Structure 1
Amino acid sequence: TRILNAYAHPDKTSTTSTSTTESIENIVHNKDENASLLTTTHSQKWLGTTVTIINRSEVLGRPLAALLALQGATVYSVDEHSILVFLGGCGSAPRMRKCPSTTTLADCVAASSIVVTGVPSPDFCLPSEWIQDQATIVNVSEYPNVNPSTLPPHAQYVPLVGKVTVAALEENLIRLHHQQQQQQTQSSYREQQEIETRVV
């Protein structure tokens, strides 16, 4: 269909994509001024994982790609105009770059153990033959972006966003609480050091 072709073969000449030198931290911070609480300490639990996110929206697709990369994942972010890759990993801060014009949606999906679909159209259906046998597919669109009956036999399919959203929010809440405790401990330690210095 026209919608599938648009995503499968993005217009690489488009100038709407973000600068390839933009820091991923900036993407997250520009989305939410409180996001620094989530990104100052980078867990690497997604290190070695490749993810494809179809539809680079400002609400979900783009921030999700940035957050996963901050936690070590390699994330392909696909929309109708371009394919970007968010590169995570230990060491230097993750970066983002534009993929070569030869890179297709099929290439990204075939390389990914996790695929997130968020195309807001009933006409889009991701071909099941592109999906890894044991991949996890999470649909966050109001429309089913895949045909569950044709998925690989060992693939895991999450058709709704509700439970995933709740789990992510709970994780973020725990991380925020943990970081707040660390900040309070550091503040108390500094105050104690100042008191001891004045006494001496």
Structure 2
Amino acid sequence: MSVLEPDIIAAQFRAAIRTELVTRNLSIKLVGFLASNDLASEAYARYTQTGCEDVGIHFELVKTDSNTIWSQLMAANDDPNVHGIFIYYPICGDARDTKLRNAVNFTKDVEGLTAYWLQKLYANVRFDDVAQIRKAILPCTPLAIIKILAQTSAYSHTVLPYAGKKITIFNRSEVVGKPLAYMLSHDGGTIYSFDIDGGIIIDGAHHTTHSIDRATALKQSDIVITGVPAPDFPKIQAKELKDHAICLNFSYLQNFTPQAKIQAQCYIPRVGPLTVAMCLRNALRLYNNYHQDQ
């Protein structure tokens, strides 16, 4: 087993962003909204602030509540001095969060989670203009996972880097699991996507009518990705894995047994630092695409 940590890769992206900001003398402002006492959200906000300070992006954290955030978000949408917006969920913890997510101006959506960007992702539209100059914004955590998997032996430097690969993902959330499944499918992979309701197959970016069980999916999978924040999730065991599988965990809980980690050809225990780096990368891309001429 080898262990692949995200820190070095994240540092490389931050260095490139820092260099561009300094070379071009850019001033970029990112505003984050925190409206809960959720410990994970608070930690994410701190990591974002640290990352912004490291590369030279101005970061303002607004501590608010579910009633006030709407007016503050509209003000940030309209403020020409704000170039990126980040919301640390949960806010309300229900469908209102989706409505709030889609209220972010897509030209300032650092997370890449508005319907505007997700529709492009699911349709495999990779640019936001006919001339194909402005690259689309992708969700930060799925993008971080894509970037770290590109450092493994499963990745091939071809048009479809995951052609012929079978990939199991335990997480089908709209924030991470579903976008990630489609991104990997667009790159040639056959995806076995699991949530609490079971497993489905995503092939060529289309849901099939077929279902698949955990045992079958894992025994076939070259890559296994988990993001299950539930303590009662049955951890993946070594005997369930295909030989030489690459395993990645992005939950704050470890979803693999110690023996499964040892058996994996490569084990990736977290992606957090790279997720933050992708947020910074998205902020710079938004500035270049929509705000630099203001």
Same fold judged by TM-score > 0.5? yes
**Contact persistence 2:201–2:208 (CA under 8 A):** yes
Percent identity reads: 32
Question: What is the alpha-carbon distance in structure 2 between the residues aligned to residue 105 and residue 32 of structure 1?
Answer: 30
Question: What is the alpha-carbon distance in structure 2 between the residues aligned to residue 151 and residue 66 of structure 1?
Answer: 26
Which of 23, 33, 37 is the equivalent residue of 2:116? 33
**Structure 1 position 165, deviation (Å):** 2.9
Q: Relative to structure 1, is the Cα distance of residues 107 and 31 closer, same or farther in structure 2, using a 3 angstrom cutoff?
A: farther
Question: What is the alpha-carbon distance in structure 2 between the residues aligned to residue 104 and residue 142 of structure 1?
Answer: 25
**Structure 1 position 168, deviation (Å):** 6.1
3-state DSSP of counterpart to 1:160: coil
2:167 alignment counterpart: 51
Question: What is the alpha-carbon distance in structure 1 between the residues aligned to residue 281 and residue 163 of structure 2?
Answer: 18
Q: Cα deviations across residues 140-181 of structure 1 (Å, max 9, x unaligned)?
A: 11100012344353521111122453576689899x79xx7x
**Structure 1 position 75, deviation (Å):** 0.4
Which of 92, 97, 119 is the equivalent residue of 2:208? 97
Q: Relative to structure 1, is the Cα distance of residues 164 and 84 closer, same or farther in structure 2, using a 3 angstrom cutoff?
A: farther
**Structure 1 position 134, deviation (Å):** 1.0
| 1:133 matched to 2:243 | yes
**Structure 1 position 99, deviation (Å):** 2.4
Q: Relative to structure 1, is the Cα distance of residues 81 and 154 closer, same or farther in structure 2, using a 3 angstrom cutoff?
A: closer
Give structure 2 stretches of 5+ with no counterpart.
1-111, 128-158, 290-294
| 1:153 matched to 2:263 | yes
Question: What is the alpha-carbon distance in structure 1 between the residues aligned to residue 188 and residue 273 of structure 2?
Answer: 23
Question: What is the alpha-carbon distance in structure 1 between the residues aligned to residue 126 and residue 254 of structure 2?
Answer: 35
TM-score, with structure 1 as normaliser: 0.59
The residue correspondences of 1:170-181 to structure 2 (distance < 5 A) are none
Aligned residue pairs total: 142
**Contact persistence 2:193–2:200 (CA under 8 A):** yes
Q: Relative to structure 1, is the Cα distance of residues 145 and 96 closer, same or farther in structure 2, using a 3 angstrom cutoff?
A: same
**Structure 1 position 67, deviation (Å):** 1.2
Greater relative contact order: 1 or 2 (C-alpha under 8 angstroms, separation 6 or more)?
2
**Contact persistence 2:236–2:256 (CA under 8 A):** yes
**Matching residue's letter, 1:113:** D
3-state DSSP of counterpart to 1:33: helix
**Matching residue's letter, 1:84:** I
Q: Cα deviations across residues 54-105 of structure 1 (Å, max 9, x unaligned)?
A: 12111101111011111111001011213111102xxxxx3111424xx311
Measured on the aligned residues, the alpha-carbon RMSD in Å equals 3.2
Which of 200, 210, 219 is the equivalent residue of 1:110? 219
Which of 62, 68, 71 is the equivalent residue of 2:184? 68
Give structure 1 stretches of 5+ with no counterpart.
1-28, 89-93, 181-200
2:48 alignment counterpart: none
TM-score, with structure 2 as normaliser: 0.42
**Structure 1 position 139, deviation (Å):** 0.5
Q: Relative to structure 1, is the Cα distance of residues 67 and 150 closer, same or farther in structure 2, using a 3 angstrom cutoff?
A: closer
3-state DSSP of counterpart to 1:76: strand
3-state DSSP of counterpart to 1:75: strand
